[in-house]
Structure 1
Amino acid sequence: MKRLLKLYLNTFDGLSREVWWLALITLINRAGTMVIPFLSLYLTEDLEFSPSTVGSIMAAFGLGSVVGSWLGGKLTDKIGYYKIMVFSLFVSGLLFVLLQYLKTVLSLSIGIFVLMLVADMFRPAMFVALSAYSKPENKTRSVTLIRLAINLGFSAGPAIGGLIIAGLGYNGLFWVDGITCILATLLLIQLLNPKKSKVLDEVKVEEPYSAYKDKAFIIFLFALFLFGVMFLQYFSTMPIYYRDSHFLTEPEIGLLLGANGFFIFLLEMPLIKWLENTRFNKVILIWFGALLTSLSLLILNFTTWSGILIIGMFLMTVGEMIAFPFANAFALQQAKKGNQGEYMALYSIAFSFAHIFGHKAGLESVSVYGFDNTWYIFTAVGVLCMFLLLILKQFLKAKNIIS
């Protein structure tokens, strides 16, 4: 047991102190945004809005995320990642507190749009900071550590949020969200001040290449969007499938979804460490992750046995563990030849668009075509993603670009 623990801990060797601090700040920030999973409940229960009205308000959520990611990338290239991260964390903390005082559809739509705009400015800035604080050979594992922090934060946040709602109501949730964002800001100022931090990979490009003209990166973004649309079915359509087709209870659904975070925490870093030492390049590894995720949906139509749900969840989780870290590492690699903020903003925006269209497309498909056909449709989306990744591989090979 001690040997296994030592081997597991060794997979974290070589990561810089700054990357660990960034992971801690990300953990606090993500655990602190616990109002987000409860937002639709708050709008329907406390404010008594109809589901249709809530859908309109939540559209502002996705739009704010897209604009915030784009703006964060632009400003990161102009004034630096540190200032953007401090601004985003601190101001979003204040906005979380103020959001509870907005009660009309218009004010909430504007408030949520502005909140997500400010909050998601953090993402491209954080990715650029991560790149600066990581040695080139450690970037994929550094990304994986940040993913672990995000997953732990998202796991702990809703659990803590439920207790806060039970004890203090939704108003208490907004206050705690705001305070944790401000606490993360103070930690960022104390621990990652540029005067104290050690930059390991500072990239200065004299004539930066535009991300919008980078054909390889554009192909990659389309593939990433398709992967995101397919992957997000596990967080909107799939829970309904578990309930309606396999008659799982809410605790059983929670355990099945929770297994995803547990497997990631336990296996992702050792898996990435091992894959980094294989001969496979990043694009092929992303392709394999997309293959496993596509299969996780397809096999659901093979049998009515409920055990297939566990197999599907495991395939999706392994696919996610492979695809996301290497996709992020590929984006950071491409960003070295241009304005890094611009590249990482587009990377974030690809997922924001997947959120806008993925959930809606899955739920509409189920209502029109049923679950079985929906899984075939999104398996086809996964196959299209894999096809684009093969085109990307050939394009990079023709250009003699190492991926």
Structure 2
Amino acid sequence: MTVPGTPRTLPRAFWALWVCQLVNRLGSFVQPFLVLYLTQDRQLSAGTAGGVAAAVGAGSVVSQLVGGWLSDRVGRRATMLMCFFGTAAALILLGSARSMPMIWATAFAVGLLGDLFRPAVSATVADLLEPKERVRAYGLLFWAINLGFSVSTVSAGVLASLGYGLLFWLNAAASVIAGIVIWAMVPESRPKLEEGTSRRPLLPVVLRDRVFLTVVLIQTGYATIYFQGYSTLPLAMANDGLATSMYGTVMALNGIVIVVVQPLVVKRLATFDRPKLVAVSMLIVGLGFGLGAVVHEWWGYALSVVVWTIGEIGFAAVIGAVFADIAPSDLRGGYMGITGMSFGLGAVIGPLAGPNALEHLGATATWIGVALLGVVIFIAQYALSPAIHSRTAENAATT
């Protein structure tokens, strides 16, 4: 298994994870069409359907913490198997649920089980690979996720015309296939503790880790910016008289740029200073959205998307390696879970802050505010770089 521009040095277990991510995303049919399914097939109101979708999101936020804890306590492999086989069952139950209590419960279960694998996968990559290889590895996983999601969103629209029930069964089947790949090809990688020692509790360690908590806070700010693309951007384009279909076309550039550019630059990204590359990438994302203050035509918004997507590529390829570098090996899964939860918090804050700012302050002030937040987190991340390097060196000396 190779991707253009990538050396053939990554282990078999990593490529199994890569295939697993690709298959899982190729089969992600339900979530993009969940609200339509609930309103058209189950005849629920738009508000109720949105609440059910929010229940999936709430489960996902909790899932990050649970998945991180499980990957440290019971193992990475067991957590991923629990995720994929459990998600398949939850999807089938959600697709067949008729009563509202069952719909709410299974929706939350889909979110809870569906994202258990994220911290486990991130921790497994850090377990399997040397620090110098992690940027390339996390970048390739990011590429696989976007390739799979780009294909699934297009094909799901066609499949939905044949019946929403088919989406649930195919999504469940993809989850089962991903689980089989893990079962057959990915060994347990959790570092063993020294004889006579017990695993430390996560929370006391995290609360004393100021470097990690600061990076988590900065990432929450980044996620707040990033999710303007799915909340404020479509509203701003509509206010400028652009059709809804134009928003879909403009946002399609995000996936196209990632799929085309990511394999070409992933090796190069691994040579940069990681914390500083994260800082610069955040700045590019903030300034890319900030272009919304001066553009009003489709091509201007398209340029904005291309700019912040370039920043997204740099951020996504490196941030996992940064967190892996500063996380203690015995609590790596838990640390990864907290980072995922912080991104989820940004997914809540962003859609609340951006549209309200657009409504009350106007587009110009909103996008300038987003750009300024990008500058603030850039400064904070750049200033924190020496502390991150120091922590990385400490961890390297103890492993």
Q: State the aligned residue count.
A: 388
Match 1:350 to one of 337, 342, 351: 342
Structure 2 equivalent of residue 74 of structure 1? 69
Match 1:182 to one of 173, 176, 199: 176
TM-score (norm 2): 0.89
Matches within 5 A, 1:56-95: 56-95=51-90
Match 1:215 to one of 210, 213, 221: 210
Say if 2:242 is the partner of 1:247: yes
> Which letter does structure 1 place at the counterpart of 2:133?
N
SS in 2 for 1:100: helix
Q: Distance in 2 between matches of 1:357 and 1:163?
A: 33
SS in 2 for 1:277: coil
Aligned partners of 2:140 and 2:266 also within 8 Å: no
Identity %: 24
Q: Distance in 2 between matches of 1:315 and 1:32?
A: 29
Q: Deviations over 1:340-359 (max 9, x none)?
A: 11111101111111122222
Aligned partners of 1:211 and 1:342 also within 8 Å: no
Aligned partners of 2:5 and 2:267 also within 8 Å: no
Match 1:192 to one of 183, 186, 190: 186
Matches within 5 A, 1:18-167: 18-167=13-162
Query: Gapped runs of 5+ residues in structure 2?
Result: none
Q: 1:400 to 1:257 in 2, by over 3 A?
A: closer
Match 1:325 to one of 317, 325, 336: 317
Match 2:365 to one of 351, 373, 376: 373
Q: 1:288 to 1:77 in 2, by over 3 A?
A: same
Structure 2 equivalent of residue 226 of structure 1? 221
Structure 1 equivalent of residue 290 of structure 2? 298
Shift in Å at residue 249 of structure 1?
5.2
Q: Distance in 2 between matches of 1:100 and 1:396?
A: 45
Shift in Å at residue 37 of structure 1?
0.7
Q: Distance in 1 between matches of 2:15 and 2:254?
A: 23
Q: Deviations over 1:73-114 (max 9, x none)?
A: 111111110011011100110110110122344332222112
Shift in Å at residue 171 of structure 1?
1.1
Aligned partners of 1:28 and 1:180 also within 8 Å: yes
Q: Which range moved further: 48-57 or 36-45?
A: 48-57
Aligned partners of 1:59 and 1:356 also within 8 Å: no
Q: 1:126 to 1:337 in 2, by over 3 A?
A: closer
Q: 1:134 to 1:295 in 2, by over 3 A?
A: same
Q: Which range moved further: 339-348 or 127-136?
A: 127-136
Q: Distance in 1 between matches of 2:331 and 2:215?
A: 17
Q: Distance in 2 between matches of 1:400 and 1:202?
A: 18
Q: Distance in 1 between matches of 2:26 and 2:325?
A: 29
Q: Deviations over 1:29-55 (max 9, x none)?
A: 122121001112122222233332233
Shift in Å at residue 397 of structure 1?
6.6
Match 2:380 to one of 369, 388, 394: 388
Q: Distance in 1 between matches of 2:308 and 2:358?
A: 20
Aligned partners of 2:218 and 2:381 also within 8 Å: yes
Shift in Å at residue 24 of structure 1?
0.6
TM-score (norm 1): 0.88
> Which letter does structure 2 place at the counterpart of 1:288?
V
Shift in Å at residue 368 of structure 1?
2.8
Match 1:17 to one of 8, 12, 21: 12
Aligned partners of 1:132 and 1:202 also within 8 Å: yes
Q: Distance in 2 between matches of 1:125 and 1:188?
A: 12
Q: Deviations over 1:311-332 (max 9, x none)?
A: 2112101100111221111011
Q: Deviations over 1:242-296 (max 9, x none)?
A: 343151451x433322221121122223323213224xx2111111011111111
> Which letter does structure 2 place at the counterpart of 1:237?
T
SS in 2 for 1:33: coil
- Over the aligned positions, Cα root-mean-square deviation in angstroms equals 2.5
Aligned partners of 2:68 and 2:120 also within 8 Å: yes
